[in-house]
Each structure stands twice: as structure tokens, then as C-alpha cells.
């Protein structure tokens, strides 16, 4: 397995609508394994294929808290088929370093996806997992969590983020 490089906003691949996955072959499974390793190494709780420059509808998620055994979920061609309630929690993103903001999401969802064996799976999620799934599915449609901010807050984000990127360049 290998660690992949994570694309940062404003990389154009993050704005693309990702293509459905047609074949789950050895090459695809390697991508899923590399993405999983990349997510754990970051560390992060979710990573979508566009974040490593691959415009395909796949994401890996593990929302287990530290100390708990891993709970890896690989979502292929996922869709949210039911949603209920409201939630507003602080989010961050491996593609938007050092910036966090509260985002409105559904509190409970039901998601349908293919697993790595090509089997259709449906599962219910709430709490952090529900938020994480909605965040990762957005990536597949070219949407970042900062795209949900009000125009005013997005203006503040753009200014702050410019500084964050400048600081990162100086450190490199």
C-alpha cells in the first residue's frame, strides 16, 4: 500500500462531479486500500477519491474514536435515500487544511452503496457518522464543506485561507 498525496482547495479536481464506478477490479481495490492508508496516516475520518485526484464515486470512512477498534466503511456509488432531522456541527476537511466551520446537515440518514465485493448495502447512520457520510458524498459532487457557508462567512474563509496557504508555503 502507499500513501497518496491529498489535493487541496482550490485544486480543480475537487470541483468536478465524479464518475460512477463501473468495475471493481484489483486496481480499484488497490486505490481503496491506498486511500484507507492515506486517511489513517493524515489522520482523518473520511477521504473521497477526488481528494487524491481520482474523479470516481468512492469514499472511505472510519469514525471510530481513538481507542476503539477500527470501523472502516468503503462507500462505492453511494446515495442518500432517506434523511431526517437537522444537525449543525463543526467540520474540517483534509483538502481545506487548518479551517473549521459549522455546517447544516441532516441528523439521520439512510445510505445505499456498493461494498468492495460489489454487494449493495443499506445502512442507517446518525451522529458523527451521518455528518461524515454527507461530507464525503458532497466531495463526489464537487462540493466542499465551505461551499455551504453563507456569502459573508465564505468571504471570511477566503481571506483566512489565503493566509493559511501562504503560511504553509513558507513552511515548505
CA–CA distances in Å: residue 68 to residues 12, 44, 62, 63, 64? 36, 15, 11, 10, 6
Closest residue by Cα to residue 88 from 155, 161, 153: 153
CB neighbourhood size of 101 (10 A): 17
CB nearer to Ni ion: pick between 88 and 120? 88
Q: Is 136 a catalytic residue?
A: yes
What grid cell was written down for 116? 468492495
Q: Which residues bind Ni ion (CB under 5 A)?
A: 93
Of residues 103 and 114, the one with the C-beta less far from Ni ion = 103
What is the closest distance, in whole angstroms, from the C-beta atom of residue 94 to Ni ion in the complex?
Answer: 6
Q: How far is the CB of 139 from Ni ion (least distance, A)?
A: 6
Nearer of residues 10 and 118 to Ni ion, judged by Cβ: 10
By Cβ distance, which residue is nearest to Ni ion?
93
Indicate which residue of 86, 136, 166, 170 is catalytic.
Answer: 136
Smallest gap from residue 75 Cβ to Ni ion (A): 13
Say how many Å lie between the first and final Cα of the chain, rounded.
Answer: 25
Catalytic residues: 136
Amino acid at each position: 500500500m502507499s500513501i497518496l498525496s491529498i489535493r487541496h482547495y482550490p485544486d480543480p479536481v475537487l470541483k468536478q462531479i465524479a464518475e460512477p464506478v463501473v468495475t471493481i477490479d484489483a486496481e480499484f481495490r488497490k486505490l481503496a486500500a491506498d486511500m484507507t492508508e492515506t486517511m489513517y496516516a493524515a489522520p482523518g475520518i473520511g477521504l473521497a477519491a477526488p481528494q487524491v485526484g481520482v474523479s470516481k464515486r468512492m469514499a472511505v470512512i472510519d469514525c471510530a474514536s481513538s481507542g476503539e477498534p477500527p470501523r472502516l466503511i468503503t462507500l462505492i456509488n453511494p446515495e442518500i435515500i432517506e434523511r431526517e432531522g437537522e444537525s449543525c456541527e463543526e467540520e474540517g476537511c483534509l483538502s481545506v487544511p487548518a479551517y473549521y466551520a459549522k455546517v447544516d446537515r441532516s441528523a439521520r440518514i439512510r445510505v445505499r452503496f456498493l461494498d468492495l465485493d460489489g454487494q449493495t448495502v443499506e445502512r442507517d447512520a446518525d451522529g458523527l457518522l451521518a455528518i461524515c457520510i454527507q461530507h464525503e458524498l458532497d466531495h463526489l459532487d464537487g462540493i466542499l464543506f465551505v461551499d455551504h457557508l453563507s456569502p459573508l462567512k465564505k468571504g471570511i474563509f477566503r481571506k483566512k485561507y489565503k493566509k493559511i496557504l501562504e503560511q504553509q508555503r513558507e513552511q515548505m
